[in-house]
Structure 1
């Protein structure tokens, strides 16, 4: 089903016209139909040209190529207590992994009061001056791969893609092939690239991730490196002009809409829209259990789980010195399913933190179906569903739950201003087959729309 998203404007109503839809699906693709619409805004093109000129003037060619490490300098507070060098640096650099900090220290890149300190356990005291140059991250190569893409919209500046579940966005240890980046390199006719992982504050790279639902410092699910920048490995012909830039990402298990930039200016402009929280996105999820009907809001900081750094956790009573970030999510119960054993929820994000919806759903006590990392296990789903029905129905319910092999989360809508034309683009795609099948099965056991 195709839906038209209408934008709210002050004054006269905008003209709506269908965008060109470019499909690159082959006969074996199972991609969902996606429809896009443009709110025409003819006066914005000249403004985009002015913005682009100002953008180009900000950086030199060297700046745009830079992908090196970061040098940190700071003074230890006089608190009266001592602390380890690696722990103190990690607190000062919350976007940098502890492993990278420790590696930098062991390589002799840390100075305390001007003297080398190559032990991670070096004891700091108040008033000490600390300098540390972070060791450069290790590059990995991304090869172009002929992978079908479900493309909702494409022009010379942006691509909007309906990402399938189980596809990782960018290469990382354990996921060097089959990623969205591999597919984009082939689609854009680019050579192999080097993905420089790590989160250098000075990087302006084309694959530096700005925001996502499951967004900030952690990569997809179980990877242990941060997203980074693509750099060309070898290119004997003319330098490629189109370079895919990941602006935001979705978790490996999350399906739905994603926008990719093809040039530096578009990447910068879209990143700024994400920073300003003007990008319009909504998500659908299926939960274990059913929250009270209506609209709710979760405003709980999120940080790395101290018991497992590959996971995030909610910290409702976070202290100022904890490494957490503010996170707020709004949700609406659309449909109560299976007599309250599950619900269909719509989510809208006020912030974009790693695994935000999944963490906040768990914090509410209603984790996403299929989310093994955040409480939505098969056992949890059965515990919510089976007591609602007589034992004769338990077998089919268990069979249904066993079919769920990923968190039931789908990025349904996406809207943003086109960086070059100023046109307002809005996209909507229905959930994929696996999500829709579970939803339909749950409805067979009872449904009540809110």
Structure 2
């Protein structure tokens, strides 16, 4: 039995409201962080909860029995199939929070298998939507047509609204640029471990609902953020302007055919000078805001496969810092930052992952003459974010099939740090530390 708790006042009020939230049928394709202004149907069946009832955002209690003869299945999948409009990620949150029991026993594994006859009880807690409103925020548009938008995101801009960052995000700017209405937005940032939303099997389309009536929204509009960059990371992002584009781009991310090249500055020089890191990533048990590369017997059940390729292009100050190129094969949250830390060379300016100003000072001053220490201190004081930039992005156009590749140089703050590192490094040490091949040749070999 499925119940949606409401007060008597709410129940009385809801009976006089004819506008209902249209529930979207599930499909094999899962979406997350899609800008989805849903049409509101004034003639919708009364079986659907009205907006005043809390809709999909209210607390929901499920008590049900798995049908005899049913095939064995994961509990998160079974529960989400029993509650229309509730994503699997919300169900998984309930499981991990101890709000799900099977035959009276608390279940904590989202992969727990249920079988016919099992009695399941589940409470899905209430979610409060955030509003994403169109805002006149300048966008650095690299490319645009009727299907896709490629933007160069500045550092310090958040991609999507979240508690504490409800305004000034890339989503707000896109809503304005594409002339879309206000959206009610459910934040998933604490539950999603993905930089590429499309890779997560639990992502669904119930992340957004609209406050606009059907006269203003005559059809589903799904321009989507297909992948994201951290707040402190600058560079290229592709945005889908309709569902067809989102599906095709999502498939390319899923198949790892999207080309992405990042450039970074590291504290120290990775050794060896090039390689492939294939180490799972999971939430750091000591700091939930940080990810950790986990290898060997320490791999947890929540760790996700992650693979990165890197190449040192230029080293500075006898090994005190380096310019490193990265290619992503997967898109996990903080993947480059976590893998760089695993190599023992965190990104310059990445305080969360150990790339502190203190580390930069100790590495650079130990390798430069005292006459350069003032310049080192001045440069380090300029670090305000992780030195990471998404420089190149390539994909097949979702309509024409044409392969498109875009590049943009790093912003001024990154370039200033890079130039100062080169200046601090004297001519002799720079000649010794540089790679034997040119940067362009190194990049060509790296890409191939």
Superposition map of 1:204-283 within 5 A: 211-212=195-196, 229-235=207-213, 236-239=215-218, 243-283=222-262
Is the Cα–Cα contact under 8 Å of residues 282 and 349 in structure 1 kept in the other structure? yes
- More displaced 10-residue stretch of structure 1: 337-346 or 155-164: 337-346
Residue aligning to 1:82: none
CA offset digits 1:224-268 (Å, max 9, x no partner): xx9973332225535377543100000000000000011111111
Residue aligning to 2:403: 424
TM-score, structure 1 normalization = 0.69
Partner of 1:152, secondary structure, is strand
CA offset digits 1:191-216 (Å, max 9, x no partner): 11111233899xxxxxx99744x997
TM-score, structure 2 normalization = 0.69
Residue aligning to 2:148: 158
* Aligned-residue offset at 1:321: 5.2
Gaps of 5+ in 2: 1-25, 30-35, 39-47, 49-54, 67-74, 80-86, 436-448
CA offset digits 1:393-423 (Å, max 9, x no partner): 2122111101010000000100001111111
Is the Cα–Cα contact under 8 Å of residues 194 and 332 in structure 2 kept in the other structure? no
* Aligned-residue offset at 1:318: 4.2
Partner of 2:246, secondary structure, is helix
* CA distance 1:119–1:112, shift in 2 (3 Å): closer
Is the Cα–Cα contact under 8 Å of residues 95 and 199 in structure 1 kept in the other structure? no
| In the alignment, structure 1 residue 449 sits paired with structure 2 residue 434 | yes
* CA distance 1:393–1:321, shift in 2 (3 Å): closer
Residue aligning to 2:336: 357
| CA-based RMSD | 3.9
Residue aligning to 1:385: 364
* Aligned-residue offset at 1:278: 0.4
* C-alpha separation in 2, matches of 1:389 and 1:234: 62
Structure with larger RCO (C-alpha < 8 A, sep 6+)? 1
Is the Cα–Cα contact under 8 Å of residues 294 and 333 in structure 1 kept in the other structure? yes
Is the Cα–Cα contact under 8 Å of residues 301 and 318 in structure 1 kept in the other structure? no
Is the Cα–Cα contact under 8 Å of residues 302 and 325 in structure 1 kept in the other structure? yes
* C-alpha separation in 2, matches of 1:167 and 1:210: 18
Superposition map of 1:55-204 within 5 A: 68=56, 100-101=94-95, 105=99, 110-113=100-103, 130-132=120-122, 134-135=124-125, 137-198=127-188
* C-alpha separation in 2, matches of 1:74 and 1:305: 36
Superposition map of 1:21-40 within 5 A: none
CA offset digits 1:119-161 (Å, max 9, x no partner): 99xxx9x997645353353211011110000001111111000
Is the Cα–Cα contact under 8 Å of residues 328 and 351 in structure 1 kept in the other structure? yes
* CA distance 1:72–1:152, shift in 2 (3 Å): farther
Q: Which of 345, 349, 352 pairs up with 1:373?
A: 352
* C-alpha separation in 2, matches of 1:439 and 1:335: 10
* C-alpha separation in 1, matches of 2:310 and 2:96: 40
* C-alpha separation in 2, matches of 1:188 and 1:172: 21
Partner of 1:198, secondary structure, is coil
Partner of 1:427, secondary structure, is strand
* CA distance 1:209–1:249, shift in 2 (3 Å): farther
* CA distance 1:306–1:228, shift in 2 (3 Å): farther
Partner of 1:348, secondary structure, is strand
* CA distance 1:392–1:320, shift in 2 (3 Å): closer
* CA distance 1:215–1:354, shift in 2 (3 Å): farther
Is the Cα–Cα contact under 8 Å of residues 193 and 333 in structure 2 kept in the other structure? no
* C-alpha separation in 1, matches of 2:190 and 2:360: 40
Is the Cα–Cα contact under 8 Å of residues 165 and 253 in structure 1 kept in the other structure? yes
Partner of 2:164, secondary structure, is coil
* Aligned-residue offset at 1:350: 1.7
- The count of corresponding residues between Structure 1 and Structure 2 is 352
Residue aligning to 2:42: none
* CA distance 1:277–1:118, shift in 2 (3 Å): closer
Task: Tell me which structure has the larger Cα radius of gyration.
Answer: 2
Gaps of 5+ in 1: 1-55, 76-84, 202-207, 218-225
CA offset digits 1:272-324 (Å, max 9, x no partner): 11000000001000000112363212121110001111111111124565321
